[in-house]
Structure 1
Amino acid sequence: MIYFDNAATTKLNKEVLKGFNDLNLKFFANSASTHKLGIEAYRLEEKARSQIASLLNCEPNEIIFTSGATEANNLAIKGSALKYKNRGNHIITSKVEHPSVLNAFKSLEEDFGFHVTYLDVNNDGIVELESLKNAIRNDTILVSLMAVNNEVGSINPIKDIGELLRKYPKILFHCDATQAIGKIKIDYSNVDLLSMSSHKIHGFKGSGLLLKRKNIDLLPLLSGGGQEFNYRSGTNNYVYEVCLAKTLRISFEELENNYNYVKHLNDYLRSKLEGLNVRINSPKISSPYILSLSLDKKASVVSEALSLKDIYVSTKSACSSKKSPTSYVLLAMGKSSQDAMNAIRISFSNENTKEEIDIFIKELKEILNTLK
């Protein structure tokens, strides 16, 4: 099997799985219970929170555990916009965000009467500072922009955006860092709210977090027992939280080596694609973990043909590929509707190899020739 769909999800790290199995056998009590077993579980949970805070350069009480990035994005966006609606009614995002961000903004627009500006991006899929600056109004209260685009790997200038928004004390800055955390180095020091998901870095599905700076308040989306500092009620899955801490630690320890290795793979694939009738959509300077390319053949047919050969790629974001064959990200980048419809995404992990790329290129050539 050749798995090139790591932007959709990654294979679970064996060390993380072992930790999960060991913990589950020993700890099972509710961490909110006041008896000995509950207190032991609570201590495990808080140790994990402290470890994560150390990795992300924040305080433990700034970490809110969630079921993943979708929940974290919704809590950050809806929670902050609704909490601070008295400050203003204007919020900003871009046209190329993940569906969990775009649909959260759509809900605020349609259900709560917010005015939304959807920023254009340049041909590299990046939000330009001048475009953001021109969109800011007196009643702007929130800006949400991703660190790395999940379809093409474009990297937004998060540090510069944060510095710009610091000049507007009323505006909160949310960053969806799902495709960046544990993979590439980005300065998040001026980010107010940050989302990530464990399963993108070889952790468990259904596990993620929201980093919320302590001076910021949110309107909770869930009402209940007041867990997670009253921001996210529900019984905590502290085993997942401990595993998330381990997942992050491993990804941070191996970040530089993995980045360099995957960049080598990305460069190698780009060189092998030369001479084929394909168009690379990912900019030259982008996350090496993601490479988008457009074909002259129907992407869904090519993807299915590859899967029959035990090679797995995606046609675009896994969260939206079943709804529309056309990539709204590529359209926003100025690509033709044909290229936006016939794009496939190859996404790497440190477990992929050059030999796998050679096999992929060989099979892709055969498929494209067969479809002539």
Structure 2
Amino acid sequence: MDLNALRTMLAQGPPVLVSIMLANNETGAIQPVAEAAHLIREAGGLLHVDAVQAIGKISIDINALNADFLSLSAHKVGGPKGMGALVLAENQMRPSALIRGGGQERGGRAGTENVPGIVGFGAAVMAAEASRVTDMARIQTLRNRLEEGLGQTQGGVIFSQEIARLPNTTLFGVPTLKAETAVIRFDLEGVSVSSGSACSSGKVQPSHVLKAMGYGPEITRSAIRFSLGWETTEADIDRTIKTWRKLSGALLRRDETGLEPF
């Protein structure tokens, strides 16, 4: 995030609410949220932090971030799908209800609480947090091993490698590569990767994140994302590197010649 650009945008008029991702879901880049919060406070605005991608991977403290609202999602830590949480820095900041009715959720939303989902969310967060430091240190070591292998590719780019990132995320590209072809070929070899974010990976189009970062269409169309999990092993990483070395020659030749390497 460009803090100078944020400062310019805030100067254009008083903001009501600014929403910032704590960590980007494609590059894994960790945003300077606390610094942004200072600018937003000076401009008289409120700050919402989307911490969905960061939960279970880095420390999250709404007070340290100086945020008013913070949102989380259970499935990112192995909890029940469809469960989320909105954390409020102050109770009087409670948003207006969209659905009114019973008072089970303190007037925030009508309807009976999803007790199994709530309990499952809490249990997943506690389990993830209990081993987060050791788990993420191990995963970061594996990610660095992966990036060392990928980095030997001529012309290869590991995006946002020079700044603070989530320990489990690598976004990699080679200008002559077509991401959708690489995703299919990896899948045929039993390795799951994605082109861009999982939320929009069904759309064959350049990464809007990389476009916003100033990259051209050739490299943005090539980006593939590797996401490591709690169960990822050193053998998995070595297999992925070996698979890339096997595929990369054919994939890059195909994109230079236009011929399909099957």
Same fold (TM over 0.5): yes
Equivalence for 1:232: 109
1:289 maps to a residue whose letter is: N
SS class of match (1:317): coil
Equivalence for 1:172: 46
Equivalence for 2:260: none
- 8 A contact 2:195–2:201 mirrored in 1: yes
Equivalence for 1:75: none
Equivalence for 1:301: 181
- Deviation digits for residues 337-357 of structure 1 (CA, Å, limit 9, x no counterpart): 111111100011121112111
- 8 A contact 1:158–1:187 mirrored in 2: no
Equivalence for 2:171: 292
Given the alignment of the two structures, is residue 192 of structure 1 paired with residue 60 of structure 2, yes or no? Answer: no
Equivalence for 2:25: 150
1:155 maps to a residue whose letter is: I
- 8 A contact 2:173–2:222 mirrored in 1: yes
Equivalence for 1:349: 229
Count how many residue pairs are aligned between Structure 1 and Structure 2.
245
Equivalence for 1:130: 4
CA distance in 2, matches of 1:163, 1:253: 31
Given the alignment of the two structures, is residue 279 of structure 1 paired with residue 153 of structure 2, yes or no? Answer: no
Given the alignment of the two structures, is residue 211 of structure 1 paired with residue 90 of structure 2, yes or no? Answer: no
Which region of structure 1 is more displaced relative to structure 2, 208-217 or 134-143?
134-143
CA distance in 2, matches of 1:173, 1:152: 22
- Deviation digits for residues 117-138 of structure 1 (CA, Å, limit 9, x no counterpart): xxxxxxxxxx233322222145
SS class of match (1:291): strand
Equivalence for 1:182: 56
2:49 maps to a residue whose letter is: C
Given the alignment of the two structures, is residue 222 of structure 1 paired with residue 96 of structure 2, yes or no? Answer: no
Q: 1:167–1:187: structure 2 CA closer, same or farther, 3 Å change rule?
A: farther
Equivalent of 2:77, from 193, 197, 201?
201
1:260 maps to a residue whose letter is: A
- Deviation digits for residues 263-305 of structure 1 (CA, Å, limit 9, x no counterpart): 1011111111232132111333211211101132211111111
Give the alignment's TM-score, normalised by structure 1: 0.63
- 8 A contact 2:173–2:219 mirrored in 1: yes
- Deviation digits for residues 172-217 of structure 1 (CA, Å, limit 9, x no counterpart): 1000000112211244211111111111111121111111231213
- 8 A contact 2:17–2:45 mirrored in 1: yes
Which region of structure 1 is more displaced relative to structure 2, 263-272 or 142-151?
263-272
Question: What RMSD over aligned residues (CA atoms) do the two structures have, in Å?
Answer: 1.7
- 8 A contact 2:180–2:204 mirrored in 1: no
- 8 A contact 1:158–1:188 mirrored in 2: no
- 8 A contact 1:159–1:186 mirrored in 2: no
SS class of match (2:136): helix
CA distance in 1, matches of 2:106, 2:21: 25
> Shift of residue 151 of structure 1?
0.4
> Shift of residue 360 of structure 1?
0.8
CA distance in 1, matches of 2:224, 2:99: 37
> Shift of residue 249 of structure 1?
0.7
- 8 A contact 2:77–2:128 mirrored in 1: yes
1:214 maps to a residue whose letter is: N
- 8 A contact 1:227–1:235 mirrored in 2: yes
Equivalence for 2:256: none
Which region of structure 1 is more displaced relative to structure 2, 139-148 or 278-287?
278-287
CA distance in 2, matches of 1:154, 1:312: 21
2:59 maps to a residue whose letter is: K
CA distance in 1, matches of 2:214, 2:52: 24
Equivalence for 1:6: none
Higher RCO structure, 1 or 2 (CA under 8 Å, sep 6+)? 1
Equivalent of 1:316, from 196, 210, 224?
196
SS class of match (2:172): strand
- Deviation digits for residues 29-75 of structure 1 (CA, Å, limit 9, x no counterpart): xxxxxxxxxxxxxxxxxxxxxxxxxxxxxxxxxxxxxxxxxxxxxxx
- 8 A contact 1:282–1:293 mirrored in 2: no
- 8 A contact 1:158–1:186 mirrored in 2: no
- Which ranges in structure 1 are unaligned for 5 or more consecutive residues? 1-126
1:134 maps to a residue whose letter is: T
Equivalence for 2:141: 264
- Which ranges in structure 2 are unaligned for 5 or more consecutive residues? 254-262
